[in-house]
Amino acid sequence: MNHQCPICLDPALIPVEILAFPCSKNNSIHCFSFQRMCEKCAINVLELNRPPAERSEDKKCLFCDARINLRHIFDKPYKKDFLLMSADESLYNCPYCEFQGKQIEINHHLDTQCQRRSMLCLCGMINDFQFIESHEHLRQCPFFTHCLICNEYIPSATYESHLLSNHSMLQCRACQKPTSLSITEHLTVECPHRMVHCYHCNKKYTAFSYLDHLIEHTKESITRIELLKDILSKEYEIYYRFRAEIQESFEKTFGTSLHLN
């Protein structure tokens, strides 16, 4: 069995068997059955240190024509070979710090101790654990939800139980917002998806669209006001024309001026 990493050409440190490509079939010999790669090299080759949306859409297997879209990788696409690690008595340096030890010791160090150790996020991205746990990453990760109450990022699958156990609140399925009210009360008085009756046109709208509806009413009112201004202006013209005609007719008839209020 070849222990040399095909990427860096050094002895495979934390040797892994790649399982991501279509040629890697369970219970059968495949391209990586007898080939091991450094875990760090595997992470780089499969671009697991990048967000899924930024990975290559077409990646070819190192040994055959099988191809894969790296953006579709969410589960860990390789497995560690602990048998090879246990059998290797050589000393190695941690790829991230000054720690030194045998393969199995390096693996334990990387899993639990190294301050720059890698961590697998639920989205399939592998990176420095401090980055994976940072708000910078969690803010963009689709598998975490931002709790508006405690300002923490909670795995979406456990977000509802987090709200209930930590904040005594429920999550509305309609608007996805937490509420301290019962769901029935929330849907009645504060949910943006609740129905609101418009007393101007006697129609119903969802609360979040009601403001836009009122703005439309305001625009219609402004249009009517402008129309009335135009009508009033024309009526004033007619009114003053009548006054002038009355004045002229009175002078011709009675020979004197008429003083109109």
Q: In three state form, how does the secondary structure of 35-89 look?
A: ECEEHHHHHHHCCCCCCHHHCCCCEECCCCCCEECHHHCCCCCEEECHHHHHHCC
Cα 157 to Cα 46, 150, 154, 172, 176: the distances in Å are 26, 17, 8, 15, 13
Model confidence pTM above 0.75: no
pLDDT tens, per residue, the chain with 261 residues: 447 899 999 999 999 999 989 888 777 888 888 889 999 999 999 999 888 889 999 999 999 999 999 998 877 899 999 999 999 999 999 988 889 999 999 999 998 888 888 888 888 888 888 888 889 899 989 899 999 889 999 998 899 899 999 999 988 888 888 888 888 888 888 888 888 999 889 999 988 888 899 999 999 999 999 999 999 999 999 999 998 888 888 888 887 877 777
| Torsions phi, psi for 222 (to 5 deg) | -60, -40
Q: Distance (Å, rounded) from C-alpha 65 to C-alpha 47?
A: 19
Q: Which residues pair with residue 17 across a beta bridge?
A: 79
* Residue carrying structure tokens 């059998």: 87
For 147, the token pair is 């709790």
For 144-153, the CB contacts below 8 A with 24+ separation are: 147/178, 148/177, 148/178, 149/178
